[in-house]
Structure 1
């Protein structure tokens, strides 16, 4: 099955997600990267890029909407203390960075 590419925005960050339902005939693969701003941190990755392997059919079992599932993942992780601390620090700035 061919890889599917999706582009969408989350909290003002442009994101590209590439979903391969069956990679190497054995596993599903999801790539997520922020591209505007380039390499912007996301709640699921500090570098703006995440590669995620999972059992084939996982996304399809949950409705098949890649954008909705990636968005839900980002929303869930955005509620963590780690991400909330990152947001507070980025708004305040760091004199020692």
Structure 2
């Protein structure tokens, strides 16, 4: 009797399909343009970062890294522009440091 119940639990409908991926696993290479597009898409405050990542096939953590890197680049370039702005002259005390 126990054996009958065991076999009933293993009919064809109870099996699930699995996919076996063989071969070398490779990381996807994202171009700078693709990264910029995805980061820009995620910049909208009304948009879920997780949803943007899912839609584009990117891990949410990786998208967060790209966002931080982009923000750091913007801050660095703004600082460089500010230091090179016309009319900004360094005084003697500042040059001697």
Q: TM-score range by the shorter chain?
A: under 0.3
Bigger CA radius of gyration: 2
Which structure exhibits the higher relative contact order, with contacts defined as CA atoms closer than 8 Å and separated by 6 or more residues?
1
Higher helix share: 2
Using the size of structure 2 for normalisation, the TM-score is: 0.27
Structure 1 or 2: larger strand share?
1
